[in-house]
Chain A
Amino acid sequence: GAVVSQHPSWVICKSGTSVKIECRSLDFQATTMFWYRQFPKQSLMLMATSNEGSKATYEQGVEKDKFLINHASLTLSTLTVTSAHPEDSSFYICSAPTSGASYEQYFGPGTRLTVT
């Protein structure tokens, strides 16, 4: 079946550096992908909608200059956390919609980011 992958699965970076997370749809095309963030013991919060070939749409309160999203192809969206700080440490999960009418989404396995 369709699979969404993420790379890396975990990353540790120093405060002030940038880190890029990739989200790929493996056997289907995704013109839209979604990026979520989950802090420990909290639920998933939608950060932004990634649109192939156009600008991402960010949710209220998410800094678009800090969380750069690029959706350059039909199978790849990237999220770059710029000038990362310890408060950006979180579990980042991407998803892509299925083609069904139920609005179901395929979720990636997530990327654990730790900023030291």
Chain B
Amino acid sequence: QKEVEQNSGPLSVPEGAIASLNCTYSDRGSQSFFWYRQYSGKSPELIMFIYSNGDKEDGRFTAQLNKASQYVSLLIRDSQPSDSATYLCASGNDYKLSFGAGTTVTVRA
């Protein structure tokens, strides 16, 4: 079983719509959870991190964490073509990160 699993995608949404990304993790010792965006050929860029149960909002992005269900999600509101990328979910135990396989999102203009 993979430590971090993401919905497989690809996900295609129209511009202005909400993109919903899901992630589950297996290590109950994980303390922090991260969403990264990765453009083709580039290094990951941090979008958000969350470590407490509940929702965390930052601009158009909302992360949700449910430790009981071992579930993390990311909502992208008002999706823009520039949001088209692969989104990586990661769980962290201390500073060691385990990444999911990623979900590729395409925002259609």
Contact = CB atoms under 8 A, between A and B. Distances in A.
Interface of A: 32, 34, 42-46, 49, 91, 93, 97, 102-105, 107-110, 112
Interface centre among B41, B96, B100 (most CB of A within 10 A): B96
A74 B32 CA distance: 25
Contacts of B102: 43
Nearest to A4: B43
Contacts, number: 47
Interface of B: 31-32, 34, 41-46, 49, 51, 88, 92, 94-102
A32 B43 contact: no
A108 B51 CA distance: 23
Contacts of A46: 96-98
B95 A34 contact: yes
Contacts of A49: 96
Given A46-B96, A46-B98, A104 B46 contact: yes
A44 B99 CA distance: 6
